[in-house]
Amino acid sequence: MALTGLDIYKLLPKTNCGDCGSPTCLAFAMKLASKQAELQSCPHASEEATAALGAASQPPIRLVTIGAGDNRVEIGNETVLFRHQETFYHQTALAVRVREDDPEREARLEKIAGLRFTRVGEEIAVDLAALEEESGDPEKFAAFALRAGELSGLPAVLISSSLPCLGAALEKIGKSRPLICPRSPEKIEDFAALAREHSCPLAVDGGSVEKTAELSLRAREAGAEDLVLLAGSGSLKEKLADLTVIRRQALRKQFRPLGYPTIAFTNPDADPEAQALEAAVLIAKYAGVVVTDLIRPEYILPLLTVRQNIYTDPQKPIQVEPKLYPVGTPDRNSPLLVTTNFSLTYFTVEGEIEASRIGAYLLVVDTEGTSVLTAWAADKFNAASISRALNDSGAADLLDHRNLILPGYVAVLSGKVEEESGWTVEVGPREASGIPKFLKTAYRGGTGKDQS
């Protein structure tokens, strides 16, 4: 039976030293119980506690890191089958395949590096370059792996069933911790030894879930700790079935040989639209890494968008940093508008101010990511929070006037905001779509309020 947070707490030192990153031993015990921490994070755990907690404190799906330093990608360590039960923690890493003998390989690698976009204030990008060996020539593959790192700047997935080719590539780029991906169930102990020697993660491809579980045990016994399980190589239906079985077995049965993140490939022979659809399904249903041949932005951006949406914590609204934002090129007479830090609200208001072509300041109040009316109803967007944000923002130093434009939906706050802040409140439109007309009417010419 799984240990509760209190069971675990009884075994910890109870000194609340904070060395594990949690403020108290109880908080750490709760994290251990929900598999969001590992016992090794507490350097003071006794041998008795280590023995007692041992396997019980291991996450059901191991956290595996591909890459090193700032360039690393973490996959695995998931705790639920369905996002609404809690959240998904480590988003699917998207890898674009580059073949060794492709005459366009260098241009392709440069393109991969450029596949990054900004969406709702977050940078979303391709994570890995999947390098497929084709020559059988160790020196050539090693040179390709080295060059790929220079051109893409991304960690690699090394796809090859040749031990000498993988060995030569790892001599060149092993320190950057690529994922070793042999596409063969043969010689698993030899590949595991290579992974152990270079401290790199290893993909295990058994051809079926049963065989993959057997190979993962053998790889583990041969010293490879960070494993990634290859899911299906046939139809999308088979891949989906494998991914689901692996996740269920790991989470519901705590079946250790399948307690690792997964990797899946889209079908290289399918047309781009079918590959994009396949990749989206694999992202939605549990793949830790998706390797695709797609490279054009019109396919990659929607995939990254799907991923961003699935890996957003459903319990936490997407927020922007509460502060004063210049929109366009405001000057000392420009209007000052106020809104909340719910991303959707912020980007809608910011977009409408931009559309007005009038430089302005936008004061974003911390309402814990709620929209204007919700925040007002919850008393998070009120005279006190707006006045505090105004004072903290430094707006008074940037502007010659003391006028603040409130969203029309909270016009009722005008008097209290004026009282508390000392600024004059002007009531803006209810809907963000009314902002361009409002600003153009009141601030004709772009700077300074038109008093006529």
Q: Which residues are at the interface with ligand SF4 (CB under 6 A)?
A: 12-13, 15-20, 22, 25, 28, 42, 44
Residue closer to ligand SF4, measured from CB, 50 or 79: 50
Cα angle: 15, vertex 37, 43; to 5 degrees: 40
φ/ψ of residue 347, rounded to 5: -70, -30
Residue closer to ligand SF4, measured from CB, 19 or 450: 19
Residue closer to ligand SF4, measured from CB, 16 or 309: 16
The residues pairing with 180 across neighbouring beta strands, listed in sequence order, are 158, 202
Please tell me the distance from the alpha carbon of residue 182 to that of residue 166, in angstroms, as a whole number: 9
Q: CA-CA distances (angstroms) from residue 387 to 119, 416, 424?
A: 30, 10, 12
| Min CB(72)–ligand SF4 separation in Å | 24
The amino acid at 10: K
β strands within 388-439, DSSP E? 403-406, 424-427
**Are 167 and 138 within 8 A, CB to CB?**
yes
φ/ψ of residue 155, rounded to 5: -60, 155
Residue closer to ligand SF4, measured from CB, 19 or 139: 19
Residue closer to ligand SF4, measured from CB, 27 or 81: 27
Show the tokens assigned to 424. 């004059």
| Min CB(77)–ligand SF4 separation in Å | 19
Residue closer to ligand SF4, measured from CB, 17 or 274: 17
Cα 447 off chain centre by: 40
| Min CB(313)–ligand SF4 separation in Å | 24
| Min CB(51)–ligand SF4 separation in Å | 16
What letters, b where the CB count within 10 A reaches 16 and e where it falls short, cover 95-109? bbbbbbeeeebbebb
**Are 191 and 182 within 8 A, CB to CB?**
yes
Cα 148 off chain centre by: 24
| Min CB(315)–ligand SF4 separation in Å | 25
Q: Is 15 left (phi over 0), alpha (psi -120 to 50) or beta?
A: alpha
Please tell me the distance from the alpha carbon of residue 80 to that of residue 379, in angstroms, as a whole number: 33
| Min CB(335)–ligand SF4 separation in Å | 50
What three-state secondary structure class fits 50?
A: helix
**Which pairs from 346-350 meet CB under 8 Å and 24+ separation?**
346/121, 346/320, 347/120, 347/121, 347/320, 348/432, 349/432, 349/435, 350/325
Residue closer to ligand SF4, measured from CB, 19 or 110: 19
Please tell me the distance from the alpha carbon of residue 280 to that of residue 22, in angstroms, as a whole number: 36
Residue closer to ligand SF4, measured from CB, 42 or 365: 42
**HSE of 241, CA atoms in CB hemisphere, 13 A:** 10
| Min CB(58)–ligand SF4 separation in Å | 16
| DSSP state letter for 61 | S
| DSSP state letter for 43 | T
Residue closer to ligand SF4, measured from CB, 42 or 439: 42
What three-state secondary structure class fits 275?
A: helix
| Min CB(26)–ligand SF4 separation in Å | 9
| DSSP state letter for 342 | B
Q: CA-CA distances (angstroms) from residue 14 to 50, 58, 201?
A: 15, 21, 35
| Min CB(8)–ligand SF4 separation in Å | 9
Residue closer to ligand SF4, measured from CB, 17 or 378: 17
Residue closer to ligand SF4, measured from CB, 15 or 235: 15
Residue closer to ligand SF4, measured from CB, 53 or 130: 53
| Min CB(42)–ligand SF4 separation in Å | 3
| Min CB(61)–ligand SF4 separation in Å | 23
| Min CB(254)–ligand SF4 separation in Å | 23
**Are 432 and 348 within 8 A, CB to CB?**
yes
